[in-house]
Amino acid sequence: MVLKTIPQKKRSRKKKNMKFDIITIFPEIFEFYFNCSILKKAKEKKLIRTKIHNLRDFTDDSRKTVDDKPFGGGRGMVMKVDPIYKCVQFLKSKFIKPKSKIILFTPRGKKFNQKIAYQFSKMEQLIFICGRYEGVDERVAKHIADIELSIGDYVLMGGELPALIVMEAVARLIPGVIGKSEFLKQRITKEKNFIEYPQYTRPPKFYPEEKFWRVNPKIWKVPKILLSGDHKKIEAWREKHSKII
């Protein structure tokens, strides 16, 4: 009797990649940035995927209206709930991943930080809703978004820059996106809400031209410890000057 050998299933070595879906009325802002930064390389290496959704494609009228006057009066226009609903519904029906989060950018949201970036880097998909005008109909925050996020206590003109900021902070935490040594350094860091110590490079002494600068001291020096070659002391100095947030 000839025993047939059953071919063993090849273990998939597919790298995990993160998908970013961006909902915006200004797709061109992202196209430019994606083509000239570390994100471009990450995309080429298939570590991240990006898909920009033009909100105007989810409108019904010929003018592709995405905004309307606020109920109760007041200045400016408000982004309508229905095009955002249709766009997210379209994503949910076809392209949603098990570990995904829908993020609405608003200055009233939870303040973004490194800890949140780490949490997001464990996801498979982030869907960003970029507001414009005087903001977004509150029903988007209440019923569509998983989280409202702010990048700081100031008001910008739109959610596109916040989306790029969050994306970059998250993407660099994905294995392979930045250099290996840099990534390992992050992995061995005990605290995930850690921001690195100050860095210096050559020259060890820099002599500024006095008439242009408030020079005190007159030579801009690198801290002696960093030039000492004493690794223990250097580590201690770095720890002391790191920031835990």
Interacting residue ranges for ligand SAM, rule: CB under 6 A: 105-108, 130-132, 134-136, 150-152, 154-159, 162
Contacts of 106 (CB under 8 A, 6+ apart): 131, 135, 136, 141, 148, 149, 150, 159
CB of 132 to ligand SAM, least distance (A): 5
Token pair 């303040």: residue: 111
Q: What number of H helices and E strands is found in the chain?
A: 9, 11
Give SS3 for 49: strand
Residue 128 or 237: the one with the smaller Cβ distance to ligand SAM is 128
Q: Rounded to the nearest whole angstrom, what is the least distance from the CB of residue 143 to ligand SAM in the complex?
A: 16
| Residue among 129 and 173 whose Cβ is closer to ligand SAM | 129
Nearer to ligand SAM, 158 or 176 (CB): 158
Q: How far apart are CA 16 and CA 21, in angstroms?
A: 16
Nearer to ligand SAM, 91 or 140 (CB): 140
| Residue with smallest beta-carbon separation from ligand SAM | 131
Q: In whole angstroms, how close is the CB of 171 to ligand SAM at the nearest point?
A: 18
Least distance (Å) between residue 81 CB and ligand SAM: 13
List, as one string, the DSSP characters of 15-48: PP-EEEEEEES-HHHHHHHHTSSHHHHHHHTTSE
| Cβ 106 to ligand SAM shortest distance, Å | 5
Tokens representing 30 are 């992202």
Nearer to ligand SAM, 27 or 176 (CB): 27
| Residue among 187, 35, 64, 76 at smallest CA distance from 121 | 187
